[in-house]
Every structure is written in C-alpha cells, then in structure tokens.
Amino acid sequence: MFHEVDEKLNLNLERYFYEHHFGGTLHPAQSIPNELSEYYFEFDESFGSLNIGGDSVAQIDLLTNKIHCACG
C-alpha cells in the first residue's frame, strides 16, 4: 500500500519559522496590543509580498477580527 519515497519532500516551511505563527509567543514590534486575545495570527513583511510600513509586525485577532500593526 505504501510507496517508497526516494526524495525528501521539501515544502520550504522554514521560511515561516519565527515571523509567522498562530498564538503562542508574541513578537510585537513595539508593545503587546491591548485587547488581543490568545487566538491570533502574527506575521511580518516577509509573509508573501506585503508592504506594511517597513520592518513591521502585525497581528490579526481571530476572535474579534481586529488588526494591530506596528513598525520597529
């Protein structure tokens, strides 16, 4: 049933390490946003081809749909 894999599957997921994540440890550019729940997605400009103000970090609160963005 299982096929042998000759090559390692490379999804290039290391590009999302640290800068982009769901919940957990927050890495804000300035301070922890008020009213941010523990359910959020955090990302910076290296996520896709965003331009959010130069060395910026943003959080989207998944409970309230509020967005917080700050530049370093």
Are the beta carbons of 37 and 61 closer than 8 angstroms? yes
Calculate the average pLDDT of the chain: 71
Domain housing 41: 27-70
Give domain status of residue 55, yes or no: yes
Q: What is the DSSP letter of 3?
A: P
Give domain status of residue 36, yes or no: yes
Give domain status of residue 52, yes or no: yes
Give domain status of residue 5, yes or no: no
Average pLDDT over residues 61-72: 83
Give domain status of residue 4, yes or no: no
* Model pTM score: 0.55
* pLDDT reading at 44 higher than 70: yes
* pLDDT reading at 72 higher than 70: no
Alpha helices by DSSP H, listed for 1-72, are none
The count of domains in the chain is 1
